[in-house]
Structure 1
């Protein structure tokens, strides 16, 4: 069996055909461990880190950062037994040049290609197990704790003079006959010798031709922000004495226009929303409710000792209200499948999240079976993962019902578009102090407006109204609803 194994870009979820290499987390010559993250790839759904299928030493990187690679294409070669001595036929480092000679059949025969998805080695996630195999990417699976990057053993190898192996995009060493060694990305807070920047910021810098190593960041811990990159691209200085407020000002060219490529998450979102808007007949209803008691219930919950370290927000009660309302009106949690309606007993509750890469809708799997505390923990993990840009494709698939919290932007309500395959989506508006008739007198109460969009092929006006009313009743008096409905 060959020592050199070539790892192909796997299908990262739901038949995606390609991915863009955002960042290499290793370089040629590095010793890597099994399941160690080796590359960050952006697909139409998310930016994900791909772990190593084998331990060993990196022999070749076949594609540089910024390259779009089709699924099944070799991306890295690994020597699985580097201590066995020199190779008889050393692997040549890949280069993007089309002028290089094609490898001979003999040299290709010395390289073992990674098995296809669904045929992974036993002992790895997705490998042989009772009941058959499941095509799951190595390193994926049910999350039981907060996601943390495994610290790498050993110090970062010394870089050649003039080359920074921190979080830098666009820097390239002097011309050599082989591909430049990939950058090592150290994202630890306070790490020295590198530039702190999130993957979308690095990608923006690469698109605009900005060298992150020349910038002084205005973000937390001196990190580079989108505004820093945009100012640098327009010729403005970004060296500041203190953080500046985010302006999100676009960078215009000489023609006073800016052209932004539509790709990745934004492209997929546009396709899905257009398909949904012109396929499912949308109806939207609105309900304004007094949530004063719900806000007081949250305050009492925060005051309990066992809840002091838990993130408690109004969204938690809205999510619980939706889950209980589904138990009373299960048809709302269904899918139109042409000649039949598929009603689902489980609820994969989607939460719309606005990120730097665009709108994503990760979901809490089987949320209806979670206790209130478990639901709070799941929502916290979902939001933190989305903000960090680490949401996996698996977390965004299989949703059955969605909540979009427009209230965090100070918006009262909206008419949300259904995610494809779902029959309802609830918009939760801002909670405001307003004059309200309470017990025959006008008083200042905390009020919010709910907006429910639904697929009228499945949910008629009566069912949609009763479901929305159930959610409103829960938020009006959650403690009484919990006693009466459960």
Structure 2
């Protein structure tokens, strides 16, 4: 019998995922829990295990294709009676009362029904009267436009909320798309393809005839001279989060340039210590330790604004986010309970975090729930910036490059190693005095690492 596996609910409210690569192919025999594919959500790359033992019948998506939660992903030829396919609930579906929820290995969803797909609520198009008979639009010419009059009542096209929003932005009527793709779930690719056909026909009708004797000049849209990169995965999630943060929390950024010569001298001595030869302790680890110490005296910077409850929630722990630039985009994995760690433990945690992020193996759990973040812009040779707060956090510190430059020291001008710190904070929670005091506390530790012994 053929068993179909649909993309499961991967948690965190995610509605779609991109197939990174298939690890099986049609005709291949697979074992229970064998990894079928790697899919990339808006937060991480996830391995999907097989819920069946059998032979791969077909793949419903290609590598690089975005699949909606609940859409068919892969089909198996399995022995015995037809199994209940693990699948998440899809918008518009209604589970039979006698059926039980089946585990789908990543999330949970309603088991499929053999009675066919439930009817969807009707949508009225054009000037059809309430008494008009319900009908399904079976076909439409490829040159149909979104403004075409359809004097009938049709079923609501099968799609997910993100696809419907995408179609609305492009001005595409999903009814006309459904007429082309049939009764299957409409994807973003279907919407994009329909929009491109409309645009091509529109450009063709608007292109003016060349003036005799004039040289041809490229005008308007020039596909051969442009590169279009789909906005999806981590980049899509990051963009949405940054827009939400920038237009929700009133950002304030303050800067402080500090002499870190003593810190750099300390790190040089630690590198020569044979007992620490297996650890990579760098300036970022010292900054992380200084931040954890300084947050003890600045509770507003280790807090979040709870709009619904009308409360400011102060955290009694530090889940420290470390921004990491990867090939998939910017992610901010976190180190849990960072305030309990020694300098060496923080250095090891940062190194492990970076290695996992570069490999694309950061789990969704490591990307959620941070209380304060650090962005090391110094690795790019940048001195200062205005970092945007991760949603749900009230503070983020950007660490600039360490540079040797003339600096006043002990009443004289000398070549010293300096670094600029940039602190952005939510002005609803943190006022200027608390932000400045926190930044000064971090700077004091970097100027004189021995001062860390005086903080708790």
- Give the TM-score band, short-chain normalised: 0.5 to 0.7
Aligned-pair Cα RMSD in Å: 3.0
- 1:305 and 2:277 are equivalent in the alignment: no
Match of 1:467 among 417, 429, 438: 438
| Matching residue of 2:293 | 324
| Matching residue of 1:64 | 62
Residues 300/264 of structure 1: CA separation in 2 closer, same or farther (3 Å cut): same
| Matching residue of 1:176 | none
Residues 484/476 of structure 1: CA separation in 2 closer, same or farther (3 Å cut): same
- 1:411 and 2:411 are equivalent in the alignment: no
Describe how 1:3-152 pairs up with structure 2 within 5 A: 6-33=4-31, 35-53=33-51, 57-78=55-76, 87=79, 110-114=82-86
Distance 2:54 2:342 in 1: 43
Question: How far 1:304 sits from its partner (Å)?
Answer: 2.4
Question: How far 1:358 sits from its partner (Å)?
Answer: 1.8
Secondary structure at the aligned position of 1:310 is classed as: coil
| Matching residue of 1:289 | 258
| Matching residue of 1:483 | 453
- 1:258 and 2:256 are equivalent in the alignment: no
Match of 1:334 among 303, 313, 334: 303
| Matching residue of 1:376 | 347
Q: Check the 8 A contact 1:13/1:394 in 2, yes or no.
A: no
Distance 1:362 1:454 in 2: 19
Secondary structure at the aligned position of 1:447 is classed as: strand
Question: How far 1:293 sits from its partner (Å)?
Answer: 1.0
| Matching residue of 1:278 | 247
Q: Check the 8 A contact 2:42/2:234 in 1, yes or no.
A: yes
| Matching residue of 1:202 | none
Match of 2:407 among 415, 433, 436: 436
Distance 2:64 2:434 in 1: 49
- CA deviations 1:311-347 (Å, max 9, x no partner) are 2221111111111111222221110112110111122
| Matching residue of 1:233 | none
Secondary structure at the aligned position of 2:296 is classed as: helix
- CA deviations 1:399-433 (Å, max 9, x no partner) are 21111111011111111111111101101000000
Residues 18/483 of structure 1: CA separation in 2 closer, same or farther (3 Å cut): same
- 1:456 and 2:427 are equivalent in the alignment: yes
Residues 346/298 of structure 1: CA separation in 2 closer, same or farther (3 Å cut): same
Secondary structure at the aligned position of 1:328 is classed as: coil
Distance 1:276 1:17 in 2: 21
Distance 2:274 2:30 in 1: 44
Q: Check the 8 A contact 1:4/1:112 in 2, yes or no.
A: no
Distance 2:394 2:59 in 1: 45
Distance 1:483 1:357 in 2: 40
Distance 1:116 1:262 in 2: 25
| Matching residue of 1:183 | none
| Matching residue of 1:93 | none
Distance 1:353 1:264 in 2: 15
Q: Check the 8 A contact 1:46/1:265 in 2, yes or no.
A: yes
Question: How far 1:363 sits from its partner (Å)?
Answer: 1.4
Q: Check the 8 A contact 1:27/1:61 in 2, yes or no.
A: yes
Distance 1:381 1:79 in 2: 41
Distance 1:35 1:305 in 2: 45
User: Is the deviation greater in 376-385 or in 60-69?
Assistant: 60-69
User: Is the deviation greater in 390-399 or in 429-438?
Assistant: 390-399
| Matching residue of 2:183 | none
Distance 1:285 1:468 in 2: 8
**TM-score, length-scaled by structure 2:** 0.67
In our comparison, the structure showing a higher alpha carbon Rg is 2
Distance 1:392 1:119 in 2: 26
Distance 1:256 1:59 in 2: 41
Residues 322/120 of structure 1: CA separation in 2 closer, same or farther (3 Å cut): farther
Structure 1 unpaired stretches of 5+:
81-86, 89-108, 127-133, 136-251
Describe how 1:226-265 pairs up with structure 2 within 5 A: 256-265=225-234
Question: How far 1:264 sits from its partner (Å)?
Answer: 2.4
Question: How far 1:455 sits from its partner (Å)?
Answer: 0.4
| Matching residue of 1:314 | 283
- CA deviations 1:59-113 (Å, max 9, x no partner) are 4433332332221334234567xxxxxx46xxxxxxxxxxxxxxxxxxxx71322
